[in-house]
Chain A
């Protein structure tokens, strides 16, 4: 397909622009004024565009958060807001600072590596205010089984029991001390005041 450009004849242009199609620039001032006879149209158009631009800039400044683009195409303040959320788990170091008796017990057994809140749940509120927020009492028949109920998908070396056969629904702490689970042969395992002072 070929594109054929047919030049328009002089008479097809609007009257105000007709002079532009002549050869050379307009000669006299009077002729120039006649050329831009409708110049106020352009001024009005320019004014509308300037107003629109100013309105856009003002609106943009008002609507776009001031930290947008601080680090990238997002609100930079969002990072600090997300980081400012309160924590729910205190962390085992915080627990161990007070409950040193439990740490001593755990050191004697294989549960040394098990962090406190794995069984006791999120306790940052207790750590902040130990006097009024008390951790809930745990049902060892449920808590211990979460890890130690036998399952063929668990690693082979991990100690597992079928609780129905092993204890018949009896709470695990009837025989085992949860912080030091191995049952010792002699009276060495005195009951300790777990977590209480």
Chain B
């Protein structure tokens, strides 16, 4: 068959479709990692947090988080005497450079925050295109090649864990360092925490110390009344924490 101009023009769309399938290929995979054998969460031990901001800096470094945005951040709570319903919360620069001197008196403590990787996450339910999802191992992820940047999920998250990356104009959030945990490492924030206030937890692994901890401590999740199935567990959390 001669390739005439007419035939070439007719072939081009078909070739373009075929090339798309060739290009998609198989991306780098973690060969020994099985999605079905994990169910990820995190344990945060509030009495151990010193508000040094090392986790915030490590997260930004590990995940290229743009300046002024945070996938994890630290809040400092000040509760004056009985005013538990009106805590004073500060998070200067997400706590990235630590905190200025706190109030003298009252109750003062730090609360690290991040995506709660909800099992019934409100943010994935509102995505109109399927760009955000709960992975089979329980991590809420964003497919940035598919995200439209419509911001529905930013509004839907009751914990304020999402933002729009100004460079890519797509939704961004904590990925629980998915590129690390699938390689057998812990998250960047847990890796660098100097006091062990953050611990990655695999709830499907019966040997994970999280199970013993949950059994023997008074542990809460944030906003349990939202029924989000949050998997970031807080030990020693005061009732004033929102």
Q: Looking at the complex, which of B115-123, B183-191, B201-209, B211-219 is the stretch in contact with chain A?
A: B183-191
Number of interface residues of B (CB under 8 A): 62
User: Does A92 lie within 8 Å of B51, measured CB to CB?
Assistant: no
B240, chain A: closest CB distance, angstroms? 13
Picked from A75, A82, A91, A152, the residue with its CB within 8 Å of the CB of B178 is A82
Contact with A along B20-55 (1 / 0, CB 8 A): 110010111110010100000000000111111110
A58, chain B: closest CB distance, angstroms? 9
CA distance A137 to B108 in the complex (A): 34
Q: How large, as a class, is the contact surface on chain A?
A: 35 or more
Is B164 positioned at the interface, with any CB of A under 8 Å from its CB? Answer: no
CA distance A66 to B195 in the complex (A): 45
Contact with A along B122-163 (1 / 0, CB 8 A): 000000001111111000010101100000000000000000
Known A89-B191, A152-B103: A84·B28 in contact at CB below 8 Å? yes
User: Does B130 lie within 8 Å of A153, measured CB to CB?
Assistant: no
User: Does A87 lie within 8 Å of B183, measured CB to CB?
Assistant: yes
Interface of A is mostly: loop
Instruction: Name the interface residues of B95-122: CB closer than 8 Å to any CB of A.
Output: 97-99, 101-104, 108-110
- Chain A residues with Cβ below 8 Å from B133 are 71-74, 78
User: Does B102 lie within 8 Å of A151, measured CB to CB?
Assistant: yes
User: Does B102 lie within 8 Å of A74, measured CB to CB?
Assistant: no
A63, chain B: closest CB distance, angstroms? 9
Q: Looking at the complex, which of A18-26, A99-107, A114-122, A174-182 is the stretch in contact with chain B?
A: A114-122
- Chain A residues with Cβ below 8 Å from B175 are 82
B236, chain A: closest CB distance, angstroms? 10
User: Does B99 lie within 8 Å of A153, measured CB to CB?
Assistant: yes
Is A85 positioned at the interface, with any CB of B under 8 Å from its CB? Answer: yes
User: Does B179 lie within 8 Å of A71, measured CB to CB?
Assistant: no
User: Does B61 lie within 8 Å of A146, measured CB to CB?
Assistant: no
Contact with B along A50-85 (1 / 0, CB 8 A): 000000000001100111100111110111111111
- Chain A residues with Cβ below 8 Å from B50 are 147, 154-155, 158
- Chain A residues with Cβ below 8 Å from B171 are none
Picked from B48, B146, B178, B196, the residue with its CB within 8 Å of the CB of A155 is B48
Contact with A along B208-241 (1 / 0, CB 8 A): 0000000000000000000000000000000000
User: Does A77 lie within 8 Å of B24, measured CB to CB?
Assistant: yes
Known A68-B130, A155-B50: A79·B35 in contact at CB below 8 Å? yes
9 A-B pairs with C-beta separation under 8 A: A73-B130, A78-B146, A79-B141, A122-B188, A146-B53, A153-B51, A153-B102, A154-B110, A155-B49
Q: Which residues of A contact B (CB under 8 A)?
A: 61-62, 65-68, 71-75, 77-89, 91-92, 113-115, 117-118, 121-122, 145-147, 149-155, 158
Q: Which residues of B contact A (CB under 8 A)?
A: 17, 20-21, 24, 26-30, 33, 35, 47-54, 57-58, 61-62, 76-78, 97-99, 101-104, 108-110, 130-136, 141, 143, 145-146, 175, 178-180, 182-183, 185-186, 188, 191-196
